[in-house]
Structure 1
Amino acid sequence: MSADMSDRITVFNPVGFPPKVVPRPLAPRLPSLQGKTVYLVDCRFDDSDVFLKQMQLWFADHMPSVKTVVKPISSVYLKDDPATWEEIKANGHAAVVGVGH
């Protein structure tokens, strides 16, 4: 290749073109997790369930007033799961989304 990179090649992702990313603000922080329900969402990526179960044990030992719910999504991590997000909105105060590794 030359120093000016005029002979660069273009590589395309065979998966296709992703949708445009629209930024969203973060959810406001809770003043405390005491007495709250925290969903630990398993996106079914490698070993995320192991990590989330360890996190659930940590909460039980260190913050026993926090109720944790380990919730696997209904499909693989590449597919959205609106029913899970609605359940969390209706019944939870916070969520940790675990993606593994």
Structure 2
Amino acid sequence: MKFVIRWLVGAFVIASVVWAGMVAAADGKIKVLNPRGIMPAIKQIPMAERPDTLDGKTIYIVDTKFANTKPFVNALRDNLAAAYPKTNWVGVDKVGGYMQDDPNLWAEIKAKGHGAIVLLGH
């Protein structure tokens, strides 16, 4: 008998909680925030036009100093110099990491270079 009474009391308590929750949910609207936030408009930037030839041009190879990529950067510069001997290949290190701006480097490339290969890692 005690088991039945305990079971009925427990069922009544659970039913009361469920019913109270349904009434509270039906009373008003719940305001929630979108976890994605406000998505900015995407500005599309077209690729630069390709030059007719690389002969006599200066191309910068910009290393953003991703971990353990210096041997690759040096090999890339050497291979490009061997494949395109009439092109001046300039290897430079960017100040700071990938996300930090380096306005002096970009100004130098615009003033002295005809193009750039920017290495980002991975």
TM-score by length of 2: 0.62
* Within-5 A mapping of 1:73-92: 73-92=94-113
How many equivalent pairs are there? 88
- RMSD (Å), alpha carbons: 2.3
Match of 1:28 among 39, 49, 71: 49
Q: What amino acid maps onto 1:87 in structure 2?
A: E
* Pairing partner for 2:91 from 46, 52, 70: 70
TM-score (norm 1): 0.74
Gaps of 5+ in 1: 1-9
Q: Which has the larger radius of gyration?
A: 2
Q: Given the superposition, is the C-alpha separation of residues 18 and 88 from structure 1 closer, same or farther in structure 2, using an over 3 Å criterion? A: farther
Q: Is the 8 A contact 1:34 1:66 kept in 2?
A: yes
Q: Percent identity?
A: 35
Kindly indicate whether structure 1 or structure 2 has the higher relative contact order, using CA contacts under 8 Å at least 6 residues apart.
1
Residue pair 1:39, 1:94 contacting (<8 A) in 2 also: yes
Q: 1:20 deviation in Å?
A: 5.8
1:22 deviates by: 2.2
Greater helix content: 2
CA distance in 2, matches of 1:58, 1:18: 42
2:70 corresponds in structure 1 to 49
